[in-house]
Amino acid sequence: MKNRKSFCREAGRFRLLRCIKREEQMAYNTRVYRVAALLRVRQKEIKEFIGSEYLGCKVDFYNVGSLQELKRVFLDIRDSYDGILTNGVFSDRFIACNNTDNAVAHRYISATEKNYFRRILLLTMEYPGLDLSRVRLDLMTTEHDLPRMIQEDILRKKMNEEHAEVYRLNEAGVISFEQNMASRQIRAMQSGEYDVFLTRSAVVMDQKEKLELKTKVIHVDYDEDEIYSAMKSLRQEIEKRDLQKSQVACIRFQLPEDSQPEQLQKLDHCIQELVHSQRKLSMMVQLIPDENGIEAITDAGTLDMITNERTYCEFWNYLNKEKKIPVGLGFGIGNTVKEAIDHAAQAVDFLKMEGKNRKVVYLFDSDGEIFTMSTMEREERDTRNIPVVQPAIMTATVNRIAGSAHLSSRNVFRLMTALQQAHCSEATAEWLCQELELSPRMSNKMLSNLEKAGYASISGKTQGIGKGRPCNIYRFDFQ
């Protein structure tokens, strides 16, 4: 009876997903894009699930056995497709290493935190007396144990750290990382210290068949939700690139209000020099000077090229460091020239909100997303272990949090960007005072309101400056 119920439940879920698929397919019937699925594992299941066409994408499948084969196939076919789908972060990073001009969109399917917890839950149901300290996950080291990871809720953090580390590697580094990871996992399996080992690695699953192991090895696999999410994200990225060909972008170079006319002339000369030194830009940028700065009008695709896909602002370093011109930059994207100019002006206004020069640049796009771009060189970001891609902050999210917590959108946005720039999710009232230049009373009010609204929780205590009592550490979750 139990198996029958389970079967009916799974069958019902499958039918529901198929219905969703048909509805979404109807919504994307205006244009068909070509996608190549370069899969190292689960090709048959994914092909059966997606089919030959999904979400307005015609999908061709290629079975690749190794990263080297993945590279060879990708270089052979990339000019024929609008997007590339792979499985696993190693495959996606390998594609990125060989897609240096970012000519084709790419996304990957991968297991998530949810998939781990589902496997752990099924294990505890199957083996009620299972000791979780004898269960090991592939991303754990000898310093971790599973019960503590669950209690401290650090699984997602470890997955994000692993992702950031992989995306700092070159081709050789990716291969070495994957090999070392597989060797480390197999040694742990052979040690006899664990009853169960959970892994995402297809390499490990292939090798474990050749070994005589007492440890039960379980593959942490993704399900239909992850496949759908990856395909939907890929389609959206392809559409965005298509749309950018017709969208307008504006770069606002803003001088201080007390600047001299000579500085504007110097700025104009430097921008002209910078634009015309890059052949790709010389025919794509129109410069419009005014009394307080210069606006450069271009298209969204060129803007993405200039900012390395909205992650790094080279112009800021060139003007502020090399040419010693104290200029603030704001980027805007819109469906019209006026909208792009307005968004760039908003980005500059957000810079004025900052009490300190954080050396960041904001970009407002046509969807209401705010991107925070670094002005640090790539080498400096790598040295400080700062990820290249910064997540966008949605204005709708800022307004929702501000409304729920009875705070100003300005302060909520400043807090979110300060946390993003510090690459942390925890802070104290003292930290808020220092980073946001708020009074102690206002800092405590912000934290109290965010806690009541469910966006912050106390995660520990730390000793503040002086001999006072320890202060609370707050963990933020703005999802």
DSSP labels, 166-229: HTT--HHHHHHHHHHHHHHHHHHHHTS--SEEEE--HHHHHHHTTS--SSEEEE----HHHHHH
Q: Judging by beta carbons within 10 Å of its beta carbon (0-12, 13-18, 19+), is residue 371 exposed, middle or buried?
A: buried
Work out the pLDDT band at 469, boundaries 50, 70, 90.
Answer: confident
Say what the pLDDT of residue 74 is. 94
Closest CA relative to residue 344, chosen from 358, 357, 328: 328
Q: Per this entry, what is the length of the chain?
A: 479
| Alpha carbon distance, N-terminus to C-terminus of the chain | 39
Q: What is the pTM of this model?
A: 0.57
Work out the pLDDT band at 12, boundaries 50, 70, 90.
Answer: very low
Work out the pLDDT band at 301, boundaries 50, 70, 90.
Answer: confident
Say what the pLDDT of residue 19 is. 47
Rounded CA-CA distance 244/235 in Å is 14
Q: Is 297 within 8 Å of 253 (Cβ atoms)?
A: no
Q: Is 256 within 8 Å of 155 (Cβ atoms)?
A: no
Neighbouring-strand partners of residue 83: 35, 105
Chain centre distance of CA 97: 17
Lowest-confidence pick of 11-15, 110-114, 416-420: 11-15
Q: What percent of the chain has pLDDT over 70?
A: 84
Work out the pLDDT band at 276, boundaries 50, 70, 90.
Answer: low
CA 382 → CA 315, 375, 379, 462, distances in Å? 20, 13, 5, 29
Say what the pLDDT of residue 29 is. 42
More confident residue, 212 or 104: 104
- How many of the other CB atoms lie within 10 Å of CB of 28? 17
More confident residue, 291 or 6: 291
Rounded CA-CA distance 43/304 in Å is 33
406 CB-near residues (< 8 Å, 6+ apart): 449
Q: What are phi and psi of 383, to 5 degrees?
A: -60, -40
